[in-house]
Amino acid sequence: MSPPAQPSMRPTGAGELITDTLDVVHDRFSASEGGELASYIPELATADPGLFGIAVASVTGNVYVSGDADVPFTIQSLSKPFVFALALRDLGLEEVLVRVGAEPSGEGFSSIRLEPGTGRPPNPMVNAGAIVTTSLVDAPDEAARFERIRAELGAFAGRELDVDERVYASEAATGDRNRAIAYLMHGAGSLQADVEGTLGTYFRQCSVLVTARDLAVMAATLANGGVNPVTGVEVVEEHVAERVLAVMATCGMYDYAGEWLLRAGLPAKSGVSGGLVCAGVGQFGLGLFSPPLDARGNSVRSVAAAQEISRRFDLHLMHRPDRDVSALYRSTRVDRLRQLAHRTPGQRRRLRDLGSAISVRAVQGSVEFAAAESILRSVDELPSPLPDGECWLILDLSRASRVISLGAQLLGGLVERLQSQRVHVVVVDPFERGLVTGVEHRTTTFEDAQRWCEDQLLATA
């Protein structure tokens, strides 16, 4: 017998609908003329000012692009959050914070001001701070340090990345301001490594070649809790990704950081080559590229397009999270449910009379503070027709996607309190995740929970 024929797959091009939304934004800003090419690194002044690319990488690993999303350019300051991630992995937050702060500087990216007293640079997103973070990456020598950085940037992007030697040579030859900053920090003690060696690595790191598509995947990795959604590799731990995003949100756009957060409401980082990365946390990464810069060194088209995308996609961080779907999707009692099979007529009658002693609360989605609170308040009072007030609660977590630590603590406390008051608690969890501690009985199906409670009720009454 021949195997059943496989149905042929018909392409519908549904993903193009997302590309279409990017094309609309691209078209809207591609004609804008403002801005100047960066010229303090001479090689950057040779860029084509007309280039403009937008890419979105979702946390499910799909990438959508519009315009010049595959044109390579040097990563420049966009390397800073990712090298900061590497330093956090090597040293942990406290050690890193001894050497570099986390305060928005309110100044340009190449500001020379250090923190009075400590000599720390203000944050890892401006040149001074980034030079220190580069020096903190653990390696036996500068060549190995740069290779670790290149590998890390590549892991975020999901492919091996090369260096633009011309841009590197151009910046190394003209980088006097960064040299001045580095020597100042060395004198102040915040930069302890060899100055020229560190600068060489920092300039090379800034000359790594990426595309807007790469930037989108890099940002999506941060937005996805540190796991690259395209390769599936865990590049950094979730807490590292969170911290990097936090510093991007407050310091990523230099002296435009405050207004940027106000308008776009997204963690972001810009660079003098005209790139911009933004993260829609939990949803996607956005990579943009267009060389002309505004007075603060941020890409004119990239900033405008990212703000438009944030507005269209409702991404502002302070946007009230969607609570249209209630966490508590079912709140009932067993006497109101369809009766189980295999009950005798006598049992059925007793369950109709006394079934209100068994309450049901079914929860869906992520149990964080708001959801935990609504569960607690929904059991402020529980019905019991029995003379001694004995009753049962079925807590159905089948549709709970996760329970955060506070939720688990509150629900654990609830179970303890109820059980000390002769309320028997049964948790339903088909995945046996042990989300709530201390419960009297656990089942994997709602029906089993109902049967267990009913059997006890029938035996009592």
Binding-site ranges for ligand GLN (CB under 6 A):
76-77, 109-110, 127, 171, 178, 206, 271-272, 297
Residue 287 dihedral angles phi and psi, to the nearest 5°: -125, 135
DSSP state string for 409-430: HHHHHHHHHHHHTTEEEEEE-T
Closest CA to 418 of 446, 378, 371: 378
Shortest CB 100 distance to ligand GLN, Å? 15
Residue 251 to residue 126: CA distance in whole angstroms = 8
Shortest CB 38 distance to ligand GLN, Å? 8
Choice between 167 and 418, CB closer to ligand GLN: 167
DSSP state string for 29-52: HHT----B---SSGGGGGS-TT--
Shortest CB 332 distance to ligand GLN, Å? 59
Q: Closest-CB residue for ligand GLN?
A: 77
The separation between CA 173 and the C-alpha centre of its own chain, rounded to angstroms, equals 38
Choice between 148 and 179, CB closer to ligand GLN: 179
Choice between 254 and 446, CB closer to ligand GLN: 254
- Amino acid residing at 11: P
Choice between 63 and 167, CB closer to ligand GLN: 167
Choice between 110 and 135, CB closer to ligand GLN: 110
Residue 339 to residue 90: CA distance in whole angstroms = 59
**Tokens 């309450």, residue located:** 359
Shortest CB 206 distance to ligand GLN, Å? 3
Shortest CB 205 distance to ligand GLN, Å? 8
Shortest CB 48 distance to ligand GLN, Å? 18
Residue 170 to residue 206: CA distance in whole angstroms = 11
Choice between 170 and 228, CB closer to ligand GLN: 170
**Tokens 């580069």, residue located:** 134
**Tokens 């002309």, residue located:** 292
Shortest CB 77 distance to ligand GLN, Å? 3
H helix or E strand, kind and range, residue 453:
helix 446-460
Assess contact for 392 and 379: CB atoms under 8 A. no
Choice between 208 and 457, CB closer to ligand GLN: 208
The separation between CA 308 and the C-alpha centre of its own chain, rounded to angstroms, equals 20
Assess contact for 294 and 302: CB atoms under 8 A. no
